[in-house]
Amino acid sequence: MPIIEIDGKPIDVAPGTTIMEAAQALGIYIPFFCYHPKLSVAANCRMCLVDVEKAPKPLPACATPVADGMKVSTASRKAKMAQQGVLEFLLINHPLDCPICDQGGECPLQDITMGFANPHSQYTEEKRVVEDKDIGPLIATEMTRCIQCTRCVRFGQEIGGIMELGATGRGERMAIGTYVAQAVRSELSGNMIDLCPVGALTSKPFRFTARNWELKHTPGICPHCSTGCHIDIQSRGREVMRVLPRPAEAVNEEWICDKGRFAYAGLAADDRVTQPLLRVDGEWREVSWAEALDATVGGIEHLLREHGAQQLGGLISARASVEELFLFQGLLRGIGSPHVDHRLTQQDFRADAAMPLYPALNMALEDLEREPVILLCHGFPRNEQPLTNHRLRKAVLAGGQIFVLAEQQRDFNYPVTQIVAGAGADVALYERLCRYLEQPEAIAELQGDTVLVRAAQALRAADNPVILVGSGALRHPRAAELLYWIGQVAALAGGRLSWLGEGANSAGAWIAGCIPHRLPGGAASPQQGLPAGAMWASGLKGYVLMDCEPTLDCWDGAAAEHALCAAELVISIGCFSREAQRYAHVILPAVAFGEGAGRYINNEGREQPFRAAVRAAGEARPGWKILRVLGHSLGVEDFAFMELEEVTRAWQRAVGEFPLDVTPLAPFPHCASGAHTAAPLLRMGEWPLYRSDPLVRRSAPLAQQAVARLHPEQAAALQLHPGVVEITTATGKALLPLVLDRKIPMGAVWVPMGFPETRDLGPAMGPCAIASAPTVAAAALAAV
């Protein structure tokens, strides 16, 4: 082990360590711009020059490996002159416009200049000016400030997985940009803002709204997917100003995705409810809490008297905290209704009894990086769990192999082997895979299925491969059949099942018993309730909704709307009113993102508490308090909680220790094959990245357009041209711009969920018809 000395302090480090790393281990600060521990070494800013004994010239600490006996000085005259020289050169072309720069106050260039520069510049000539680029609604550019450290470029290439920014031109004319005008598309793009050491890349939504020293920092947990990234909620007064990642090596390293970063902008939506709303004779009225609670409790009591508790159902989102989920099911069950669920996007519940305690990754996120062979079953984590996807990407870069079985091709940002069969035929993929796993000797004779055979061979050769059940598998209209086959694949391949949870607290929702067949802790419910989909089909008389918009969040928005509009009583507890006003009778304002406390359980089973960053808006109340009052007023036992901690403790008592590794409670049943829709054209729907929950849907910078996608050959066969098309299903119509996309299988049209425009179309997967839009309607759409 080389022993070196930095500023007179000796240290014993592993061979290959750089001077920078050794200095950091010693707590000695060496200024730097381009160096970043998660990125490759570029050594192009030269800020880290240090004086190494016997070396004729100063050496870059970030790129110089230590050698035994090396004596380094970071503050000798030679080192100081190098630092001053580099800064003087860097500032030659820097505009020094700190007063109007958003980076001011959190800018390494500012800080390092203050700490290390010669206060006098000899430069009197003209400065160069670089044209700003429009790279989309999230990142503002001020390219004259760029110091060409290439951190942003390396991030795209090495972490984001799509290289979009580059350094074009040479010497004095070198500039960072996309060359052709285009928006960056990486779902991790916001991290470049954090990485940029100057004000060249700043956050567009946050721009010019606050100085960093005015902001209060509150540690939080991202509510948008099951990764559970650690975030830093920065607020001023009562307003959340921005969200940044908080370093957590085991969870999100130091990144977050753009959904987690910019969804907060949805808090400014004009339909945020801050006062209880009551529908009186068809009119919405703002009322006091007392009045709203009277109406709610009275309404529920009336319903219980008239129709019995079996006519009341409760649906809650997987973004609710463990405490809220626990109280929610306690409330419903306490007044006698077994119908409680959180799995809004699911449709097929035939495998419920066999499901494990909760959808668990069954390993640490960090372990995922080291898996050599993974079979991903129906999922697209790049959209659904962006930072879990980042771990999968690392697994591939480290030489791992990922096979994906799915109903359509997708844009993975790392090489994977995609094996697709259009909707309806995709279940059979698993069946065939099982055959190849079972009879390896027969493989040679099989024709035409080479990729699947290759997957089978890789799975057999691997020791305990990971069979990763994606969120798309549970959402599948024939999920139970898929699960049966996935179970078979795992058994035949000697692999282990691992699950990608969908919501931030999917794990918590299962464990807390917000499912119709199990109580908190997983014990079977004595009274089996209706799962989400069946609650619509049965047309209950009353519904309690918490933090969800069933018309947009559910597998079949049209059925949800129909059932809700027909019900006698719909209580909506949430933050927004636009959708709720279509069907609810009472809207109780709950606290929104950043305003509440509680805990989530992420995909790994990691319990992550969070607290409020800002005060609740207006009259909004924490969800757990609303539920407590309702429970108490309706005479539910043990609901007299005063503090959140009491709820947490009650939950802990009810659940006990929950395992981090789970297995199915029983083998998945072999279900009869669901009627395969033999429609000439199938609507295939999924929730796009930024349409997956009420808050992100309202975030203006994350706005996404609803479009229909067709394979070009399918479009040609139907004689459709890009333009506006009309999609028709049994329940409704939608007018959407048509986009041609080779990733969509023949016989299907991709139509997104989560948009008011497509709400009336009904099930995410089902028969539909498509035609060029009537001209009048198309013109109307174009005018919007």
Partner 1 sequence: MLSEQALTEIARERAKYPEDRAQSALLAALRIAQEDQGFLATEVMDYVAHLLGIEPIRAYEVATFYSMYDLQPVGRHKICVCGSVSCFLRGSDQILAHLEEQLGIKVGETTPDGLFTLREVECLGACLGAPMMQVGDRYYENLTKDRVDSILAALREGGDDVG
Q: Does 143 bind partner 1 (CB under 8 A)?
A: no
Nearer to partner 1, 167 or 654 (CB): 167
Q: Does 87 bind ligand FES (CB under 6 A)?
A: no
Residue 434: name its binding partner from ligand SF4, ligand FES, partner 1, none (Cβ under 5 to 8 Å by kind).
none
Cβ distance 282 to 583 under 8 Å? no
Q: Does 32 bind ligand FES (CB under 6 A)?
A: yes
Helix axes 623-633, 322-334, angle to 10 degrees: 20
Q: How far is the CB of 723 from ligand SF4 (least distance, A)?
A: 34
Token code pair at residue 477: 């209209």
* CA distances in angstroms from 10 to 17, 22, 73, 561, listed in the order given: 14, 10, 12, 71
Site size for ligand FES (CB under 6 A): 12
Do β-strands 401-406 and 417-420 pair in parallel, antiparallel, or remain unpaired? Answer: parallel
How many CA atoms lie within 13 Å of 743's alpha carbon, on the beta-carbon side?
12
Among 178, 409, 527, 704, binds partner 1 (CB under 8 A): 178
**Strand, coil or helix: what is 291?**
helix
Among 6, 43, 152, 764, binds ligand SF4 (CB under 6 A): 152
Q: Does 398 bind partner 1 (CB under 8 A)?
A: no
- How far apart CA 316 and CA 341 sit, in angstroms, is 7
Site size for partner 1 (CB under 8 A): 13
Nearer to ligand FES, 60 or 596 (CB): 60
Cα dihedral 641, 642, 647, 653 sign: negative
DSSP H/E element including 736: strand 733-740
Q: Does 166 bind partner 1 (CB under 8 A)?
A: yes
Residue 32: name its binding partner from ligand FES, partner 1, ligand SF4, none (Cβ under 5 to 8 Å by kind).
ligand FES
Residue 162: name its binding partner from partner 1, ligand FES, ligand SF4, none (Cβ under 5 to 8 Å by kind).
partner 1
Q: Does 47 bind ligand FES (CB under 6 A)?
A: yes
- How far apart CA 631 and CA 227 sit, in angstroms, is 32
Cβ distance 175 to 169 under 8 Å? yes
Residue 724: name its binding partner from ligand FES, ligand SF4, partner 1, none (Cβ under 5 to 8 Å by kind).
none
Q: Does 117 bind ligand FES (CB under 6 A)?
A: no
Among 18, 83, 110, 148, binds ligand SF4 (CB under 6 A): 148
Cβ distance 740 to 722 under 8 Å? yes
Q: How far is the CB of 223 from ligand SF4 (least distance, A)?
A: 7
Q: Does 35 bind ligand FES (CB under 6 A)?
A: yes
Among 367, 470, 486, smallest CA distance to 416 is for 470
Q: Does 87 bind ligand SF4 (CB under 6 A)?
A: no
**693-717 burial, b for 16+ CB within 10 Å, e for fewer?**
bbbbbbbebbeeebbbbbbeebbee
Q: Does 168 bind partner 1 (CB under 8 A)?
A: yes
Nearer to partner 1, 184 or 404 (CB): 184
Q: How far is the CB of 741 from partner 1 (least distance, A)?
A: 17
Cβ distance 751 to 720 under 8 Å? no
Q: Does 69 bind partner 1 (CB under 8 A)?
A: no
- How far apart CA 268 and CA 272 sit, in angstroms, is 7
Among 93, 227, 329, 413, binds ligand SF4 (CB under 6 A): 227
Nearer to ligand FES, 33 or 206 (CB): 33
- How far apart CA 655 and CA 518 sit, in angstroms, is 12
Could you identify the residue written with the tokens 């508790």? 309
Among 193, 188, 589, smallest CA distance to 393 is for 188
Of 161-169, 365-373, 486-494, 700-708, the window that binds partner 1 (rule: CB under 8 A) is 161-169
Residue 163: name its binding partner from partner 1, ligand FES, ligand SF4, none (Cβ under 5 to 8 Å by kind).
partner 1
In sequence order, what are the residues at sequence separation of 6 or more whose Cβ sits closer than 8 angstroms to the Cβ of residue 277?
284, 285, 286, 287, 292, 577, 581, 586, 587, 589
The C-alpha angle 589, 592, 598, rounded to 5 degrees, equals 110
Q: Does 180 bind partner 1 (CB under 8 A)?
A: yes
Cα dihedral 599, 603, 606, 610 sign: negative
Of 2-10, 12-20, 158-166, 506-514, the window that binds partner 1 (rule: CB under 8 A) is 158-166
Among 50, 130, 147, 165, binds partner 1 (CB under 8 A): 165
Do β-strands 312-316 and 340-341 pair in parallel, antiparallel, or remain unpaired? Answer: parallel
- How far apart CA 309 and CA 303 sit, in angstroms, is 8
Q: Does 508 bind ligand FES (CB under 6 A)?
A: no
Q: How far is the CB of 406 from partner 1 (least distance, A)?
A: 22
Among 60, 190, 465, 557, binds ligand FES (CB under 6 A): 60
Among 51, 164, 348, 371, binds partner 1 (CB under 8 A): 164
Among 94, 151, 518, 606, binds ligand SF4 (CB under 6 A): 151
Token code pair at residue 136: 């989309």
Q: How far is the CB of 112 from ligand FES (least distance, A)?
A: 10
Residue 179: name its binding partner from partner 1, ligand SF4, ligand FES, none (Cβ under 5 to 8 Å by kind).
partner 1
Binding site for ligand FES (CB under 6 A): 32-35, 43-48, 60, 62
Binding site for ligand SF4 (CB under 6 A): 146-152, 176, 195-198, 200-201, 222, 224-225, 227-229, 252, 256-257, 259-260, 385-387
Binding site for partner 1 (CB under 8 A): 162-171, 178-180
